[in-house]
Amino acid sequence: MAGTLLTEGTVTVEGQSLFYREARPQQAPRLNVLLLHGIRFSSDTWLQLRTLALLADAGHRAVAIDLPGLGRSKDAAAPAPVGQPAPGSFLKAVVEALGLAPAVLVSPSLSGMYSLPFLLQHGHLLKAYVPVAPICTEKFEAEQYARVETPTLIVYGDQDADLGQVSLNNLRHLARHQVLVLQGAGHACYLDKPEEWHRGLLAFLQQLE
């Protein structure tokens, strides 16, 4: 991680303590990237995969949080039952507490219950959205998606026969979207094809600058 600084800490959001990891470039960051995670994962996933390091090496500030009840935020209570959309105010509070606005939001799987309400209610706080086969896409109408102007990179693995296709079918109504399909990859496609994942993510971020 030459030229980058990796730290960890906690941030208080709606009265609860959430753990996070952060990688910063030495210079002023080009973009702020907030990484969420799936139910079997945590911020440690992005550390081990080197996503945090690669984003910082590319000049971006990258922050990965542990969602409530998971990872090292396990003592925090989730604001909604798993699989139900959480209040959009939750991620708004996270973004504001960490000083990330406008943020690029990376949201795999379970974290869709947090990111989708936030996108639809507080899209002005987002520079871009990178959903990776998120849950809860069917909870919203095509018309709601169509009103969103946030640039979006829809990512899924072609072997993810369940959530990959469902999420694509719903998210394709977003007005400004691109699609990245990782060939030979399953649901956690970034783990199956990390090089393709990082290449696609960094290329998308370059378009935003």
Q: Is residue 109 annotated as a catalytic residue, yes or no?
A: yes
CA nearest 22: which of 45, 48, 56? 56
Quote the crossing angle between the two packed helices 112-122 and 88-97, to the nearest 10°.
Answer: 80
What are 65's strand-pairing partners? Answer: 20
Q: Is residue 187 annotated as a catalytic residue, yes or no?
A: yes
**How are strands ordered across the β-sheet holding 177-182?**
4-13, 16-25, 61-65, 32-35, 103-108, 126-132, 152-157, 177-182
Is the C-alpha dihedral spanning 193, 196, 198, 201 positive or negative? Answer: negative
Per the residue annotation, which of 73, 111, 115, 160 is the catalytic one? 160
**What are the structure tokens assigned to 112, written together?**
């869709």
Query: Distance between the two ends of the chain, CA-based, in angstroms?
Result: 22
DSSP state, 143?
A: H
Per the residue annotation, which of 42, 107, 109, 111 is the catalytic one? 109
Q: Is residue 198 annotated as a catalytic residue, yes or no?
A: no
Residue 63 makes CB contacts below 8 A (sequence gap 6+) with 20, 21, 22, 32, 33, 34, 35, 98, 100
Q: Which amino acids are annotated catalytic?
A: 109, 160, 187
